[in-house]
Amino acid sequence: MIFVATPPPLVCLDPGHGTPPAVGRQLEPIGPGSRTMKIKDGGGASGEAAVALAIARRARLLLLGRGYRVAMTRTGPTIHLGGGNGNIARARFCNRRHAALMVRIHADGSTARSLHGISTLVPAWHRGWTDDIFARSLRAGREMQKAVVRSTGAVDRGVVQRSDLTGFNWANVPAVLVETGFMTNPAESRRLKSGAYQQRVALGITLGVAAVVPR
């Protein structure tokens, strides 16, 4: 009998932003072969980059504890991926590692300060770009949204399909993006900056992964 050791599935965590402004303002094609160009990183909402990283670090520990392998596109305040350090580089980083799931972690911003709650973005269907990951990403997004809302008690703003996100259009592995709350809502921003709430978000993300990536 021959035993083949299969490595545990790898989860790719992508905390948003953390791009030096001179790089962030550079343009990159929104999808393979596209003439539509988009900036790499507008910087996100005030305080978002640090919150996204803190949640990702906590999720990493929880996922490792459940036996997953974890890769992160950045582990410090600034991204150092090479390959242009944009959203194409983030997607390729996860593609190269054959991630079972790419989990992008962000927080929202709005001029309407009353807006709060959590949403999960997933790739919209686009032939040649996301057709291979559309169904699995949508399923992962639904489970992720359910798990993070349940774990935090935040308002459920639903799952949203997006065609304009470079990081989705270049992904060859299932991908979701959790908007963990609004930095522009004073109460939610306060929660997002607290370790206890970050841990609840991270636990929700971990349970969302576990719902779709068997271990």
* 14 vs 143 by CB, closer to Zn ion: 14
Helix, strand, or coil (residue 174): coil
* 44 vs 174 by CB, closer to Zn ion: 44
* 44 vs 208 by CB, closer to Zn ion: 44
What part of residues 75-114 is at the interface with Zn ion (CB under 5 A)?
106
167 binds Zn ion (CB under 5 A): no
What part of residues 109-138 is at the interface with Zn ion (CB under 5 A)?
none
Structure-block tokens of residue 14: 């992508």
Residue ranges in 45-170 assigned as alpha helix (H): 48-65, 87-96, 134-152, 166-169
- For the chain, the C-alpha Rg in angstroms (whole number) is 16
What part of residues 14-73 is at the interface with Zn ion (CB under 5 A)?
16, 44
Number of residues that bind Zn ion (CB under 5 A): 3
What's the closest the beta carbon of residue 61 comes to Zn ion, in angstroms?
22
What's the closest the beta carbon of residue 39 comes to Zn ion, in angstroms?
12
What's the closest the beta carbon of residue 25 comes to Zn ion, in angstroms?
15
Torsion of CA 17, 212, 136, 199, to 10 degrees: -20
What's the closest the beta carbon of residue 147 comes to Zn ion, in angstroms?
20
CA dist., res. 105 & res. 32, Å (int): 23
Dihedral sign, Cα of residue 35, residue 94, residue 165, residue 214: positive
Residues that bind Zn ion (CB under 5 A): 16, 44, 106
